[in-house]
A and B are shown apart, each in its own frame.
Chain A
Amino acid sequence: MRPVYVLSGGVSKFAKARPDKTFQAIVKEAFDASIADLGLEPRQAIELLDGSVASYFSDHFQRQLMSGIMAQDYLGLVPKPSHRVEGGGATGGLCFQEGWKSVASGDMDVCIAYGFETMSHVQTWKGNEFIALASDVSFDYPVGGFYSGYYAMMVTRHMKEFGTTVEQMATVSVKNHRNALYNPYAQKRMALTVEDVRKSPMVAWPLTRLDICTMSDGAAAVWLASEEGLARVEKATGKRLPRVKVAGIGRGTDAMRMADRPHVDYETFYRKYALPIEDTDEGRAYYRDLWNKGFRYPGVHSFRAGRTASAQACKRAGIADPMAELDFVELHDAYTSSEIQTYEDMGLCRYGEGGPLAIDGRTFLPGIDYGLTLSKPSTTPVNPSGGLIACGHPVGATGLMQAVFALWQLQHTIPQHFGDTRLQVPNARRGAIHSHAGTGTYVSVSILEREDGGAA
């Protein structure tokens, strides 16, 4: 495998509906932004790119098969190689990794990964039906297919196991919406209180409307390149680009039906799922105590795929302690509850400690007033962009949007791109992006790292 660099990215404005453009033209918006950021003309970009990977989630939303090729020809990239990637909510994250593979394998020197979704083609409740078709249509969908309901079930078990509270979940919503106030790309930019979140209409107990991301129309695009490709792009631009490398990728899977997930014992957990940082006397005593209280893993309260994806990515990136060694994380907060669950899966804390971590301040940005009393200083901001909850979730674009925001963090160009310095993580050198499908069926984690100097 060759080293792979992330060179540039572009994001369209995410909105509830974009009737002003068809999906290809929205992709073109993101594509053109990624080109303009390099200081190139579309004609030069088309010449530099060896091929692409396209991603979108739902053929139902599109009512147009082969949408990938329609984006490819609209961008002027035919007859270059391309393929479409699909993996539910993780579609964008998987697309980023397929782009990485295209370059790491030597198949391409310069590859663009682009993704999109246009979810406004149907009304919200029909859209929920389309999304719920991503659950077993024999056993799950007909019982009351509704993703917010599925996540709500998972979190009631998390609450029962660990004492996680609705206020801890609401605090995630406050943090992410507040961050988005300073992100002009975000769909929902709001200053909220915990009370606002709890008073908002109940969707699936205990999740309210403000605990849940919304549907969006949008697109994102990311350039990936080998060292040769990077040199080729730099020659065309006439300027040196910051060295942002993909330090490691990881993926995991779990059963489509959450009912099928195992409930393993303590020994199996340590043999197959525990992280190196958890393999201490103190860590073992902590988990022994959980198992003695009846805890089993992963059950429906934890995402085993998130754990294995993150463990693989961290191992490849040489990270032993994610909380200490990552400067920020952009993770898949389709629900406030899943942000808390993902803290635990990714090893930002241990299983059972996600609720307290959500409110203590470590996952917040240092320069923002959240209207909350936080007991600890910021260490690893989570979703500094505002995450899915505030930015929107145009599924096929979402994981790529995370890659673009992570790239800008590592380039230290958030102030230029957002027109505000507040969301720039100080001295960001390493960050993770996490993309998640179904009830935790496909999860991808990619770690990006700044190689050269680049003080903020």
Chain B
Amino acid sequence: MSGHDKVPVDETLEGAVVFNVPFPSDLKGLDQMAPIIIKHPYYVDYIHSYGQDSPFFAGLANKRLMGTKCTACGHAFATPRKACMECGAECAWVELPQQARVHAFTVCHFGSEEFLPDCPFVLAQVEFEGFDTLFLTRIQGLDPTAPSLDWIGMKVGARFRRLSRLKPTDVWFEPL
């Protein structure tokens, strides 16, 4: 390449984050160098199919709560699953009652980044008459600053978002 001029690199400030990174004149000093830490964004839109569980979310959009029931052993799942965990047979869609009881709960004062703006909120497992398993939901209308074990067993009723977002938070429960 000798005899040719260097090709000029057309650099802009785009992507530049730091200028003049220190470097020791004696290479032995490199082992004492403080770690260089950079920020690296990582965003992604997932294409998530609800698959065989889709009717549950269609139910929420229509203010109906759907569970499943095993066609062989009759085990009734308040959170739907199409394959029975007890016997392996197929489950059929059935409608849940819209009243439940609090089975277990907590008040989240912190949370994952996505839910921090919602804190504090009451998270609960609720139980339904005639169903063998539970359902995870939020409870509105309870004072999050005064939690009590007496909330367990409390009767609650389902409320639905008017404009569905096709998320399990389209439904929540409130004391009856």
Chain A residues engaging chain B, CB cutoff 8 angstroms: 19-21, 63, 123, 125-126, 128-129, 131-132, 137-140, 142-146, 148-149, 152-154, 156-157, 159-160, 201-207, 255, 257-263, 300-301
Contacts and interface: CB of A to CB of B under 8 A. Distances in A.
A144 B138 contact: yes
B168 A259 contact: no
Contacts of B137: 143
B169 A142 contact: yes
A262 B132 contact: yes
B104 A143 contact: no
Contacts of A153: 104-106, 123-125
A258 B126 CA distance: 12
A152 B151 CA distance: 14
A128 B112 contact: yes
SS class, residues of chain A in contact with chain B? mixed
B103 A128 contact: no
Contacts of B115: 144-146
Interface stretch (B7-15, B16-24, B78-86, B156-164): B78-86
A62 B115 CA distance: 23
Contact of B111 (A128, A137, A142, A157): A128
A350 B18 CA distance: 61
A263 B86 CA distance: 12
B112 A146 contact: yes
A143 B168 contact: yes
A149 B111 contact: yes
Given A63-B40, A259-B78, A259-B136, A145 B106 contact: no
Q: Which of A63, A131, A145 has most B Cβ within 10 Å?
A: A145
A20 B149 CA distance: 46
B133 interface: yes
| A-B interface, 10 closest residue pairs, ranked by CB to CB distance from nearest | A152-B106, A129-B112, A157-B104, A259-B134, A125-B113, A205-B107, A146-B111, A19-B35, A128-B112, A153-B104
B114 interface: yes
Contacts of A255: 85
Contacts of B50: 138
B72 interface: no
Nearest to B40: A63
B152 A156 contact: yes
Contacts of A263: 132
B9 to A, nearest CB: 29
Q: Which of A131, A149, A262 has most B Cβ within 10 Å?
A: A149
Nearest to B104: A157
Given A143-B137, A153-B104, A262-B132, 6 more contacts: A143-B168, A154-B104, A205-B147, A255-B85, A259-B133, A259-B136
A260 B107 contact: no
Interface residues of B, number: 45
Contacts of A261: 133
Nearest to B150: A160
11 contacts: A128-B111, A128-B112, A139-B53, A145-B111, A153-B123, A153-B124, A154-B104, A156-B104, A255-B85, A258-B125, A258-B136
B53 A138 contact: yes
Given A159-B149, A257-B136, A259-B125, A146 B108 contact: yes
Given A63-B40, A156-B149, A300 B125 contact: yes
B40 A145 contact: no
Interface in B133-176: 133-138, 147, 149, 152, 167-169
Contacts of A154: 104
Given A138-B168, A156-B104, A156-B105, A260 B79 contact: yes
Contact of A300 (B104, B109, B168): B104
A144 B111 contact: yes
Contacts of B118: 144
Nearest to A126: B113
Contact of A205 (B78, B109, B134): B109
A145 B167 CA distance: 13
A137 B46 CA distance: 12
Interface string B91-112: 0000000000001111111111
Given A139-B136, A144-B115, A204 B109 contact: yes
A156 B106 contact: yes
A308 to B, nearest CB: 15
B43 interface: no
A153 B79 CA distance: 17
A142 B110 contact: no
Contact of A63 (B42, B134, B135): B42
Contacts of B132: 262-263
B106 A143 contact: no
A417 B40 CA distance: 38
A110 to B, nearest CB: 32
